[in-house]
Chains A and B, each alone.
Chain A
């Protein structure tokens, strides 16, 4: 499995990828963020979670440094404690949320992915 970000013609990288970059340029390649560590920008613990989501659900926005290009991602935290500035690494999880429990059509998207674990 990979945590695939998209690199664009203008040098920017985004996770998730889009058909065009913010500046409107085309994708030119991918970057596997699971090979990098990231720094926690901010985090929260949500106690009122929707159907099919673990409770409590600690989430973080993290920032990867891919050869000098910042790339942010959001995801669940694989630990009880986390703090702003912590270094984390992505760890693969087969099912982040029970597909079909919420309103979204289960076949419309993937349900596996990466949690962030403090290093």
Chain B
């Protein structure tokens, strides 16, 4: 099998995204992982006008269907439910960055020539578990020396936020403004878990979860699914004139043991995957018109803005204060509402980031629409343990 480099018209045949969908995110009572995956998958195929029989590769981004639901083998089950048999299937697990890793896998499948039509569906079913149970399942990514002390992902966020605020002399209110901004954006996303604004006072007076971070600094527990459909650009033109192209995608890892990182305020996986995606795409931070960042915790939006070169180290908070990342700012960040407002169904989140960027680039974002030709999404697994960054551009 040869790598895909040329289309029939002699132009470089890039990897296109021709369809996207996401289910309602939130508490989906009575619906389980296979229901959610099928809903997003069918809607995505319908969005693109592609029959399931055309799907050659099917990837399912999912972290914990076994742990949460006792349901494994979801990729094969989904192929059956969609009518996509005998498509090649694979489950992609990279913890919270499973969705981004799915984008990478889907891109590889098309770019390599192995597939001419690849469907990616990400999903998770979580809300039937208690908060303690879901926190523990997610914390199980930790090293034994972390796990036995009861270290959770929210506690990593608290530890990092305190260090960031103290070291760079940052006002606590700046972190809260990330939550306020993303909730405001989420109002315009009909599929978001929360479609209501919160004010600064509400964020700052909400219960402490991991000091200095409070309830509204954290994303919720969420059920949901999202999907993207990929094909060579030459095939995309058979279906539509409005599509997006994967200009670059790259992934990187950082230490498994979080405290072993040289600088607690630098997510090296973000830096490395960002550098990789800029090199591959030929774009730089100044070229990005809209970004979806992994705001599982408010502090993560600062760390990704800095790791991706949108701000200098210790200065991202100033851009938030200036309104630079508002929907009307120079770089709108998390127009979807982000994980904070939209919700965070683990394996779906990276795919849903891609859905938002796709919709922005093809002009289907409705009231969330901004003027964008180039969009970036950064999907973080663990506490920066694995990171996938993707740049899409509108078809030209």
Residues in A lying within 8 Å of B, measured CB to CB: 14-16, 22, 41-54, 57, 59-61, 72-76, 84, 96-97, 102-104, 108-111, 113
Max chain B Cβ within 10 angstroms of own Cβ: one of A45, A53, A97, A104: A53
For B, the interface residue count at a CB cutoff of 8 angstroms equals 41
CB pair A109–B149 under 8 Å, yes or no, is no
CB pair A47–B209 under 8 Å, yes or no, is yes
Residue of B nearest to A16 (CB): B145
* B260 contacts the other chain (CB 8 A): yes
CB-CB under 8 A from A113, the residues of chain B are 145, 148-149
CB-CB under 8 A from B207, the residues of chain A are 47
* B49 contacts the other chain (CB 8 A): no
Q: How far is the CB of B217 from chain A (nearest CB, A)?
A: 12
Query: Digit string of B179-205 for contact with A (CB within 8 Å is 1, else 0)?
Result: 000000000000000000000000000
In angstroms, Cα B147 to Cα A52, docked, is 11
Max chain B Cβ within 10 angstroms of own Cβ: one of A61, A74, A76: A74
* B144 contacts the other chain (CB 8 A): yes
- Given A50-B132, A72-B259, A103-B67, A42:B149 Cβ within 8 A: no
CB-CB under 8 A from B159, the residues of chain A are 42-44, 59-61, 74
Q: How far is the CB of B163 from chain A (nearest CB, A)?
A: 4
Query: Digit string of B55-99 for contact with A (CB within 8 Å is 1, else 0)?
Result: 000000000000100000000000000000000000000000000
Which 9 pairs, one residue from A and one from B, show the smallest C-beta to C-beta distance? Answer: A44-B158, A53-B150, A50-B136, A109-B144, A42-B163, A46-B155, A45-B211, A74-B259, A72-B259
CB-CB under 8 A from B67, the residues of chain A are 103
User: Which residues of chain B from 212 to 260 have any CB-CB distance to chain A below 8 Å in the complex?
Assistant: 212-213, 255, 257-260
CB pair B210–A47 under 8 Å, yes or no, is yes
CB-CB under 8 A from A109, the residues of chain B are 144, 147-148
Residues in B lying within 8 Å of A, measured CB to CB: 67, 131-133, 135-137, 139-140, 143-152, 154-155, 158-163, 166, 207-213, 255, 257-260, 264
CB pair A46–B209 under 8 Å, yes or no, is yes
Which of A46, A51, A104 touches B158 (beta carbons < 8 Å)? Answer: A46
In angstroms, Cα B208 to Cα A73, docked, is 24
Which of B131, B151, B163, B212 touches A59 (beta carbons < 8 Å)? Answer: B151
Which of B147, B152, B255 touches A46 (beta carbons < 8 Å)? Answer: B152
CB-CB under 8 A from A72, the residues of chain B are 259-260
Which of A60, A76, A84, A110 touches B144 (beta carbons < 8 Å)? Answer: A110
In angstroms, Cα B107 to Cα A55, docked, is 44
Residue of B nearest to A76 (CB): B149
CB-CB under 8 A from A73, the residues of chain B are 145, 259
CB pair A48–B209 under 8 Å, yes or no, is yes
Max chain B Cβ within 10 angstroms of own Cβ: one of A16, A43, A50, A59: A50
CB pair A74–B133 under 8 Å, yes or no, is no
CB pair A97–B210 under 8 Å, yes or no, is no
CB pair A46–B162 under 8 Å, yes or no, is no
Which of A42, A50, A111 touches B139 (beta carbons < 8 Å)? Answer: A50
CB-CB under 8 A from A110, the residues of chain B are 144, 148
Max chain A Cβ within 10 angstroms of own Cβ: one of B135, B149, B151, B212: B149
CB pair A46–B210 under 8 Å, yes or no, is yes
CB-CB under 8 A from B144, the residues of chain A are 16, 108-110
Max chain B Cβ within 10 angstroms of own Cβ: one of A44, A47, A73, A110: A44
CB pair B208–A45 under 8 Å, yes or no, is yes
13 contacts between A and B (CB under 8 A): A14-B257, A14-B260, A16-B143, A16-B257, A51-B136, A53-B150, A57-B149, A59-B155, A73-B259, A74-B258, A74-B259, A97-B149, A103-B137
